[in-house]
Structure 1
Amino acid sequence: MLRNYMEVIVDNLLTSILSEYKDICKCKVCIEDIKAITLNNLQPLYISTEKGYTYTKINELKIQFKTTVISEIIKSIDIVYNNPNH
């Protein structure tokens, strides 16, 4: 079950954040670009066990952690908005 849990976190937050942006393209290419830029700027959180999953879920609840992820998503949205790849 090896996976980068940061991908799950970004996916969960991205949908709600994008709903606040009316003028940005939400095609698959733009969304994937936003995710890629965001994930490249965040430290990965690889998990391989249920214990790791539980620890990561607890860490996700910390305000600073969530703020950092949201900040990176917003930066990535701005980059893609100003430089669409399609």
Structure 2
Amino acid sequence: MNDLTGFQRDLLYVIAGADKPSGQDIKSEIERYYSSEIDHGRLYPNLDTLVNKGLVEKGELDRRTNYYAITEAGEQAIRERQDWERQYTDS
């Protein structure tokens, strides 16, 4: 996960915390966290990067809507990141 941007890591966490969210669901959640509007030109290329790295799976809900789901590799990347963070934050 060390090759992801902070924004991509945040997207990965949002996807991991939801059950096959749509791009719009992810956009809404990440906008709440960032307290600002995230445009499609920022969101979807970053989601595609997560898919291309094998951390997220992209599927079709209907002809217009895709869903995103965390893969086992994505879950492992999150666990490794959390372990790394704990070594610096646990007292």
* Class of the TM-score when normalised by the shorter of the 2 chains: 0.3 to 0.5
Choose between structure 1 and 2: higher strand proportion: 2
Specify which structure has the bigger relative contact order, considering alpha-carbon pairs within 8 angstroms and separated by 6 or more residues.
1
TM-score, length basis structure 2: 0.31
